[in-house]
Amino acid sequence: MQIRIFIVTMLAICVLSGCSQAKRPAGLPTLYPCEITITQGEKPLEGAVVRLMLESGSADWAMSGKTGANGVAKISTALFAGAPEGTFKVLISKADVTPSKYTEPADQSSPEWQKWNELVINEVRHTVLFVKPEYDHVNTTPHSITITKGKNQQTFDVGEPVEIIVK
């Protein structure tokens, strides 16, 4: 599960950092603007990864975005802004790792910092989910969106805040 979260996060970072300067690949369908707002406990949810999965069949292109402070994710497909026409399940996740129990020394050249680094490397830390897992699976998410020509905007709520430790 941690590998999947890592891959999705790296894809989202690449999308958000401007990797879309690449040449448009052959066969990429026409894309339409798509902004999805995610709320949790009636407040915008920052840092959530939003993915679209075709409701019937499979898509040839990854579609995702990451929410900003306003809870809005701008969806990109294969690193290009927008999403193709169709009806999609909306998968939402937000995860991090438990914080280290060791305090990092200020001076990175000190022997204390080297000792801290070794402690942190060997420390057992767990993944923490901040969105219920049901929202991140195509068979259990209650959310879907139909993308049509023009601008597409929709808001989805993921319930009350949670912190689920995955061991």
Residue 44 token pair: 């915008």
Cα–Cα dist 157/64, whole Å: 17
- Other C-beta atoms lying within 10 Å of the C-beta of residue 102: 13
pLDDT, position 9: 53
Task: For the chain, 167 residues long, give each residue's pLDDT as a single digit of tens.
Answer: 444 544 545 555 555 555 545 788 888 999 999 999 999 999 999 999 999 999 887 778 999 999 999 999 999 999 899 999 999 999 999 999 988 899 999 999 999 999 999 999 999 899 999 999 999 999 999 999 999 999 999 999 999 999 999 98
pLDDT, position 2: 47
Judged by phi (left if over 0) then psi (alpha if -120 to 50, else beta), residue 64 lies in beta
Residues 155 and 120 in one domain: no
Cα–Cα dist 84/23, whole Å: 17
Residues 118 and 50 in one domain: no
What length does the chain have? 167
**In which domain, by residue range, is 51 found?**
2-94+134-160
Number of domains in the chain: 2
Contact 145, 35 (CB under 8 A): no
In the chain, DSSP assigns E strands to 34-40, 43-44, 49-54, 63-66, 72-74, 76-77, 80-81, 86-93, 95-97, 127-129, 144-147, 152-157, 164-166
Residues 117 and 150 in one domain: no
Residues 15 and 70 in one domain: yes
- Residues with Cβ within 8 Å of 16's Cβ and at least 6 positions away in sequence, in order, are 65, 66
- Other C-beta atoms lying within 10 Å of the C-beta of residue 107: 8
Residues 111 and 83 in one domain: no
Cα–Cα dist 125/102, whole Å: 12
pLDDT tens digits for 122-145?
998 999 999 999 999 999 999 999
Residues 63 and 123 in one domain: no
